[in-house]
Amino acid sequence: MNHLEVHNQQSVNAALKSLVTKLDNLINNVNSDVLVESHKNVLLHTKLQAIFNFKPGEAAEQHLLEIILNHAMAAEKLGPGAFDETIRMTLELLKQSGKGFQQSNNQKLETTVSSLATETDVQKLIDGVVSKIDVKVGSILREALNLSGFGGRILIEKSTTPVSSVELTRGYTFETTSAWQLSTRLDDVRAFVIDGYVEQVSEIHHLLQAASDAKETAILFVRGLSNDVLHTLRVNYDRGTLKMVPIIVKFDLDGINTVNDIAIATGCDLISSNKGDLINSIKYESAPRLKSVIVYPNKVVIHHDVTAKSVAVHVANLRKKRTEPSVVDDVGNLYDKRIRSLSPNHVVIRLPDNKDYVRLSQAIDVTLRTIKAMIDHGVINHNGTVMPASTKIAAEVHSSRCHSTLINLGAIIV
């Protein structure tokens, strides 16, 4: 039984009318880019946060709101900014229904004609953010985009200093997991890449012994480790007797090719059971030395100039495969992710860890996602505002679906 079925028709319609009025007032009178209110000692910085902290009184209103938010969140995944737009369009459709304009479930959506994004479009987007947020944010964004170049990665981190900064790090960035909570920089480090699971300490004992004798730092990229192996590496690392840092490359849809990309970026011979390779056959002396590896809990940044040419060839092959007509969107997104990981430019935006961090970091994140969507899917002019075509399409589709769902439940404004 649907939640709304427990309410009579009159109460559902009254709840919808009340909810539409409240949401309409909320999204039209709350600036999405400034501190809007304090709710139970929690600072709300954005319109999205304000909507999620909005608590309608009646149970029927809560159930209706849940339906609207589910559609808005689904739209946001497809196009940055579609969350607000979906709610706005849904409210408009509901208000039109209340005036007697019933939308057919099969009504065709307006055809969206997009054009390629230009540098002017990107600058207008940044200018809009600056006018609402902070002049410094605009300067930070422009500098980060200039440094990263095409396909570069831009990350946002908290800074321990009161001053914002932008830093260019040349290195290949991969999403991985440190075997234990760790954030460190390793210089002049030996690298090993194993497409497999290390179950026994005896399998890598010769590598541990060689690293200990040479008093060198080593990094080990693997699919997984047994508890015994992990305990041995962790104890020796904490004691300072052996610095061999294990990094886990998950064997999932995103990480299935990551281990191969890491091998190319590091210049390592990939050890794989699929080729009949044995872990205990690895020769320590043949492992390449990397200039540096920066380890974070959920990623690594590898700096190794020696492999620049081989990485460039690999990226060119990935780009070629990406453009094949048979490549579907999901596969194409995986290719894009691999290409970005192998980009040598990695920019870090560091913001002071203060009351403005959430507001500023969210503004930068949304802006960067919007720029990417504009470049990937083109732009349209919607009510005098340039936005990604994907944002408008996602909002149109999900607002229409949301409206149809509510109408089919018998929820109308009377």
pLDDT of residue 37: 41
* Burial degree of 385 (CB within 10 A; 0-12, 13-18, 19+): exposed
Task: Assign domain 119-171+344-377 to a CATH class.
Answer: alpha beta
Q: Which residues does residue 351 pair with via DSSP β-bridges, in sequence order?
A: 158
Q: Is the dihedral of CA 7, 9, 14, 17 positive or negative?
A: positive
Q: Given pLDDT bands bounded at 50, 70 and 90, which one contains residue 291?
A: very high
pLDDT tens figures, 66-103: 888 899 889 988 888 888 889 889 988 888 876 555 54
Q: How far apart are the C-alpha atoms of 333 and 214, rounded to whole Å? A: 42
Question: What integer is the mean pLDDT of 28-47?
Answer: 46
pLDDT of residue 311: 94
pLDDT of residue 171: 86
Q: Given pLDDT bands bounded at 50, 70 and 90, which one contains residue 113?
A: low
> What percent of the chain lies above the pLDDT cut of 70?
83
User: Which residues neighbour 153 within 8 Å (Cβ) at sequence distance 6 or greater?
Assistant: 173, 340, 341, 343, 345, 346, 347
Question: What integer is the mean pLDDT of 352-375?
Answer: 84
Reading the block at residue 372, the tokens are 């990417």
pLDDT of residue 108: 46
- Domain boundaries defined on the chain: 3-113+380-408, 119-171+344-377, 172-312
**Phi, psi for residue 49 in degrees, rounded to 5:** -65, -40
Whether domain 172-312 has CATH 3.50.7.10: yes
Q: Given pLDDT bands bounded at 50, 70 and 90, which one contains residue 30?
A: low
User: Which residues neighbour 123 within 8 Å (Cβ) at sequence distance 6 or greater?
Assistant: none
pLDDT of residue 104: 44
Q: Which residues does residue 289 pair with via DSSP β-bridges, in sequence order?
A: 190
Average pLDDT, the chain: 82
pLDDT of residue 106: 40
**Phi, psi for residue 413 in degrees, rounded to 5:** -95, 125
Packed helices 329-341 and 308-322: angle between N→C axes, nearest 10 degrees: 170
pLDDT of residue 376: 83
Highest-pLDDT range among 116-120, 256-260, 344-348: 256-260
Q: Given pLDDT bands bounded at 50, 70 and 90, which one contains residue 323?
A: confident
User: Which residues neighbour 53 within 8 Å (Cβ) at sequence distance 6 or greater?
Assistant: 39, 42, 44
Residues written for the chain: 414
pLDDT exceeds 70 at position 368: yes
Q: How far apart are the C-alpha atoms of 19 and 54, rounded to whole Å? A: 11
Least confident of 1-5, 31-35, 124-128, 158-162: 31-35
What's this model's pTM, rounded to 2 decimal places?
0.57
**Phi, psi for residue 326 in degrees, rounded to 5:** -80, -10
* Burial degree of 326 (CB within 10 A; 0-12, 13-18, 19+): exposed
Q: Which residue has the tokens 């600058």?
A: 123
pLDDT of residue 33: 42
Q: Given pLDDT bands bounded at 50, 70 and 90, which one contains residue 4?
A: very low
pLDDT of residue 329: 73
Q: Up-side HSE of residue 285: CA atoms within 13 Å toward CB?
A: 0
Contact in structure between 186 and 291 (CB atoms under 8 Å): no
E strand or H helix at 157:
strand 153-159
**Nearest alpha-carbon partner for 338 in 325, 349, 348, 327:** 327
Rounded (5°) CA angle 259-264-270: 55
pLDDT tens figures, 133-158: 667 778 888 888 888 875 667 888 88
pLDDT of residue 50: 63
pLDDT exceeds 70 at position 115: yes
Higher pLDDT, 28 or 228: 228
**Phi, psi for residue 8 in degrees, rounded to 5:** -75, 160
pLDDT tens figures, 158-201: 888 888 889 887 789 899 999 998 889 999 999 999 999 999 99
